[in-house]
A and B are shown apart, each in its own frame.
Chain A
Amino acid sequence: MQIKENLKEYDVIIVGSGAGGGMASKILSEAGLKIAIVEAGPFYDPANPDQMTQMKWAYDSPRRGAGTTRPFGDFDQAYGGWDIEGEPYSQKGDTEFRWFRSRMLGGRTNHWGRISLRFGPEDFKKKSIDGLGEDWPIGYDDIKPYYDKVDKLIGVFGSKENLYNDPDGFFLPPPKPRLHELFYIKGARKSSVKVMPSRLSVLTKRINNERGVCFYCRQCARSCSVYADFSSGSCLIFPAQDNGGQIDLYVNSMVRTVTTNEEGKATGVSFINKEDRTEYKLKAKVVVLAASACSSARILLNSKSKQHPNGLGNSSDVVGKYLHDSTGGGRMAFLPELVNRKIYNEDGVGGMHVYSPWWLDNKNLNFPRGYHIEVWGGMGSPSYGSGFNVNDLNKFFGIKVGGYGDMLRTDMRKYYGTVLGMDGRGESIAMESNYCEIDPDKVDEFGVPILRFNYKWSNHEVNQAKHMQDTFEEIIHNMGGIALGDKPGKDRNYGLTKPGEIIHEVGTTRMGSDPKTSVVNEFEQLHDVSNVFVVDAGPFVSQADKNPTWTIMALAWRTSDYIVDQFKKQNF
C-alpha cells in the first residue's frame, strides 16, 4: 500500500475527540501548541440542522424513532453502535463482551447520560480498604483542583451534601424533582436509601455567554443545539478553535499505529483515510491517545517495532488487561396511584433529577463495592414502542388484556406515565484475567488486526446485582408500586448486564508507579515512551460506581498541564 506522508510537524497529535481528546485539545491548543486531532468519524456539530435530531417528533422518522439503525433509536446522537460494519471484534471462549463505539467528532459525549460524578477519596484507595484490585498512585487531593476547574468550565448541576466519598463541587442549581421522582424519594427513604439531587452536566443556569441555557426538552441524548449540555465538540473543541487555537481536524481517519524511530520514541501516527482508503503519516513531537480505552489499547498493541516488540508501552504486558465495565441491573414498576394522571409538560432535563449515591458500608455485605441508583419515568414523548401491550397492566385489576376498539384509547390514556424504572450502576473489581488482546487471525476492513475480548464477572459482581434487585423490590413496595416482570434469579446472574453494556469500559492502560505492573504513570505518560500519553479511561485503576467522564476530563486536564510544562522545559 502506498503511504502518503504529511511534511507538516505538529507539536501534539491527539487521537480521538471525545471527553479526553476534547479536553487535551482545548488545554494544549490554548497553551499555543500546534495540534492535530485525528478522528475516526465525520465532523459533527449539534447545531448543524442537517445532522440535528433535537426537537424532532417521532413522525419525522419513517420508523417513528425505532432503534433499527441506531441502537438507542433514530434520534440518538451516536454514529456507530455495538456492531460496526467492517470493524468487528471477537470473543474468547464464552465471553459476551459488548463494545459500543461512536464514530463522530465528540464521540460518545454527544449522546451520553451527562451523569457527572467525582470520585471520592476512598475511590482512589480501595485496595487499602478491602484488599482487592489496586490503589491509584494519586489521591483525591491530586485531582480535586482539576475537578473544580472542570465544574467551572463545563458546568454541572448538583447540591452540596457534605458526603465524604461523594465530594461536592462547584455546582449549578439542580432542577426540582418530577412527580415519579417524589414517589421514588418517598419509597427509598422508607428503606433508608439516601436520595439527593442528581449531578448532570446540563446548564440549568448560564455558565458563559457562548453557550445557551437548558430549555428542558429531556433530549440530551440528541446533543443540545444551543450547547446547554456537555459534548466535547460544542464545549471544548469549537471554543478552543474560537479562542485562536491552532487545531487541524482530520476526520474519517482511523489511526492504525503510533510510529516510532530508532530510539523507540514516537514520531507521530499512521492513519487510514476512510474516504480514499489510503494510509497517511502525520508527524508530531508528542502523541496523545484518546480513542477510548479499548481502541487506544488496540493502537498500542498494533504498534509493534524492533524497539517495542510486544507493542508500544507494553513491556509490562499489562496493555489490554484489567479491562472493567460498570455493573448494571434494573427493574420497572407500575404505580397504580398514577392511573389517569393529569397531563402537563414534565420533560425536564435529559435524565433523572434525583438519584441515590451508594449508601451502605460494604464491610457488612457479601460484596466489596457499591452501586448508585438512577431513576426514570414520567410522561415522555411518544416514540416507537409507545402503545405496545397497551393494557397489559389490566391484569393487576382483574380486567381482560387485549381487545380492540375505543377501549384501547381509554387504556392508552389511563396508563400513560404510570411506569417508573430504577437502574443500579455499580463498581466491579478490575482483574488481570479480564482483558482485550489482538485477535491473531482477524483484521478489519482496513486490514488492521482487531480486538478479541476475554471477560467474566466474578461473584463480587453477581452478589452486588442480587442486592440491587432486592433493594429495587423493597423500594417499589414502599412506593405503593407493583414490580413488573419476573425478578431475575441466580440462573440469570440476578439480571447483571453483560460486560461492556453499561459503556463504561476502562482500565486497559492502567496507571501506576511501578512500570512492571502498570502502563502509564500518574501523568498518563507511558512508562516506556516519554512522548506518548493516554487520556481516555484506559489509565483508570478502578472506577468506583461513578460514571467515568468527569474523571477522564479532570485527568486529561492534569496531564495536559504536565505536557505543556514538559514542552516549556524542552523535554520533547
Chain B
Amino acid sequence: MNRRDSLKSLVFGSIGVGVLLEGCVSGVDSETVANSLKKFNYGRTPEEKEYDKLLFSKKCFTNNQMKLISEISNLILPPNEFGSINDAEVPELIEFMAKDIPSYEAPLKDGLASLNQHSNKKFKKVFVDCDENQQKSILDLMAYPDPNLSSSEQTDDIKWFTLFRNLTMTGYYTSKVGIKELGYKGNTPNVWDGVPQDVLDQYGLSYDQDWLAKCVDQTKRNDVAEWDDQGNLVT
C-alpha cells in the first residue's frame, strides 16, 4: 500500500490510524481542533476537511520537543524588524508536516534527539539550556553539507539539519511576515503592462516594436472583442 492509499483509507476509516501516524498521539481537545479547522479556510472538499481534522487532533511532538524546535528555528532565522519564527508559526508548521508527510516524522525526531546527545556530551546539558555560542558550536557540526558528496551521502546530522532548515525557511517565507520581508508584490488584482522601464534598462533589454504592437492595449481591455472576417481585432 502506498502512502496515498493509506491516508485515503484513513479518511474513509477502513485502516487503523497507526499506519499513518505511528508516533503521534491523540490528545488535542475538540475545541482546539475546531478552531484550527476554522482558521484554515481554503476551499476543502468534505473528504479533505476530514483528513485535516484528523491531523489537527493528533500531537506529534512533546512540549519539550516543540520547545526545542522553536529554539533551533530561531537560530536559523533570528527575529528581526519584520517578525519572528513564532509570528510565522514555523514550529506549528513543522509539527503539521511531520503528520502530513509521515516520512518526515522519524528523521525529525531522531535529529532532535541527536542534538541533545551532542549538547549533553559537549556541555552536559540539553540543547535549550546551552547558551547561544554553545548552541551554535553544535549546529556548526551539521549546518554545512560536504560539497563533494551528494545529498544522500551526507551524515545523518547534516541530512536532518537540511530538512529542518528547509522546513524553517519555507515556513517563514510562506507566512505573512516572511512574505512581507521578501517583498513579493503579487496575489492581488492588477493589470500587467510589461517589465518596468528601469528594469529593462538595468539589463540592457527592450521590447521589439513588432512584438509590442501585437500586445494588449490595456486601455481597451473592457471593450468587448470584435473581429473582422480575417480575424483582425477591431475593438
Interface residues, chain A, with chain B CB atoms under 8 Å away: 42, 50-53, 55-66, 68-69, 74-75, 79, 81, 83, 85-86, 148, 152, 155, 157, 159-160, 168-179, 182-183, 186, 197, 204-209, 213, 215-219, 337, 341-349, 379-390, 395, 400-406, 408-409, 412-413, 416
Contacts and interface: CB of A to CB of B under 8 A. Distances in A.
Contacts of B171: 64
Contacts of B224: 206-209
28 contacts: A56-B43, A58-B175, A62-B36, A62-B55, A64-B93, A65-B174, A66-B101, A148-B231, A168-B231, A174-B214, A175-B192, A176-B216, A179-B205, A182-B200, A182-B205, A205-B216, A208-B224, A216-B189, A342-B198, A342-B202, A343-B183, A345-B185, A345-B188, A382-B178, A386-B174, A388-B166, A400-B144, A409-B181
Interface stretch (B61-69, B76-84, B115-123): B76-84
B170 A387 contact: yes
Contacts of B56: 62
Contacts of B100: 62-63, 66, 68
A176 B217 contact: no
A416 B182 contact: yes
Contact of B231 (A57, A171, A204, A385): A171
A416 B221 CA distance: 31
The CB with the most chain B CB atoms within 10 A, among A66, A152, A343, A402, is that of A402
A60 B40 contact: yes
Q: Considering residues B36, B93, B139, which has the most beta carbons from chain A within 10 angstroms of its beta carbon?
A: B93
B128 interface: no
A343 B185 contact: yes
Contacts of B173: 382, 386-387, 412
Given A85-B12, A343-B185, A206 B223 contact: yes
B172 interface: yes
A522 to B, nearest CB: 25
A206 B174 contact: no
B187 interface: yes
A179 B203 contact: yes
A177 B139 CA distance: 44
Nearest to A59: B175
A44 to B, nearest CB: 10
Contact of A173 (B2, B55, B181, B215): B215
B19 to A, nearest CB: 14
A347 B211 contact: no
A61 B40 contact: yes
B196 interface: yes
Interface size class of B (residues with CB under 8 A): 35 or more
Given A85-B9, A175-B192, A218 B186 contact: yes
B231 A160 contact: yes
Nearest to A85: B8
Contacts of B78: 405-406
B31 interface: no
Given A64-B93, A176-B215, A205 B43 contact: no
B28 interface: no
Interface in B182-210: 182-196, 198-200, 202-203, 205, 207
Contacts of B161: 402
B216 A175 contact: yes
A206 B96 CA distance: 43
Contact of A348 (B52, B77, B192): B192
Interface in B146-171: 147, 161-162, 165-166, 169-171
Contact of B187 (A57, A174, A177): A57
Q: Which 7 A-B pairs have the closest CB atoms?
A: A387-B169, A85-B8, A58-B174, A176-B194, A173-B216, A215-B189, A347-B186
Contacts of A174: 214-216
Which of A65, A81, A171, A182 has the most CB atoms of chain B within a 10 A radius of its CB? A182
B75 A413 contact: no
B176 interface: yes
Contacts of B192: 175-176, 216, 345-349
A357 B143 CA distance: 45
Interface string B108-140: 000000000000000000000000000000010
B34 interface: no
A204 B191 CA distance: 10
Given A197-B214, A205-B223, A206-B222, A64 B42 contact: no
Q: Name which of B96, B231, B232 has the most chain A CB atoms within 10 A of its CB.
A: B231
Contacts of A383: 174
A61 B55 CA distance: 13
B199 A344 contact: yes
Chain B CB within 10 Å, residue with most, of A215, A349, A404: A404
A337 B198 CA distance: 15
A245 to B, nearest CB: 23
B5 interface: yes
Contacts of A400: 144
Contacts of A63: 93, 96-97, 100
A59 B174 contact: yes
